[in-house]
Structure 1
Amino acid sequence: MPVTKLIFLSLRNIASTIFLVMASYSAYASTIYSVPFDYKRATPTNIYFSGKTEAEISRFCKTQSHASQADVDACAHRDFEKASAELLKRASEVGNAYKSGDVELEENGQPTAGPYFLKSMAAWADFRDAACYAETYALGEASSRYVEFWDCMTRITKALTNELSSPKD
């Protein structure tokens, strides 16, 4: 066999091997749905939907007409932002009630409730975040990953908002 034919066959085998390696790598490449994410770094929806009125955004999110997956994700994220704002308002009211009650407790040398309320809220947020990451990652590589995550965050946040009551209630 001539040397040039051996070189040609060797080069063809090398090229075939490189092609197969590259093809197999791309088959297992990461997508935005297969890697961990940090929801705290997500673009706020007021930026995502900038230039749209509240009514336009509400109508769009309700109908999801001609919506891309990113649009659907942003609508779910928006629902969480609203639920989170409601919780922050309610938690502030409850926290202020504890703070007021703590004045008398402190004057009487008794332990105060406020710091424990704050500690419980931080622990609850850690729980919610971990529970929703677990629920979402269990889906595997799914295009509905972010919608599922935001829906979980919204559901758990609304549940706590509904359960929070003032210390005197």
Structure 2
Amino acid sequence: MSAADVATLALAELDRAPAADLAPHVLDVATGTGPAALAAAHAGARAVGLDTEPALLRTAAARARRAGLAAMARFVVGDAAELPFPADSFDAVLSTFGVMFAPDAHRTAAELVRVCRPGGIVAVASWTPTGRWAGSPRPSPGTWTGCRAHHPRPAGANPGTSGRGSHRFP
């Protein structure tokens, strides 16, 4: 699964949710050179890519300009464990092989949930700890697993908690 696949799947799930008339607002955390943010922008979303590395963000912005997506995608420096956005800012929050390297996984996950609006989508792709597909008896180097989660937090609930949710693993 590529970064574009994660963005496409998240936006497809969002389409089934109650939608506003505006383009979805998507955050790509640990964006690197921006593949998921650019895929989301290409699909019509307003995308923000966040990373700690300014050089990678300059590359992402240059890619957006070359693709004619500069008006739909912007890139900002920031820390996944302290996202510089208010609660409920995004319809979808993505990370493809990025937040899995965060030093504090629980805090980072709470931040992804915090900035996702109630009813939004959090989509993360990550390598499995063992390098195995679920149910596979043999290691497979470079294997990853994806997770799509509906954000179940009702409006007004503590933004640091998620309550119940449905998780699907492809």
The structure with the greater share of residues assigned to strand is: 2
Give the TM-score, by structure 2 length. Answer: 0.20
State the TM-score, normalizing by the size of structure 1: 0.20
More helix by share: 1
Question: Relative contact order (C-alpha < 8 Å, sep 6+): which is higher?
Answer: 1
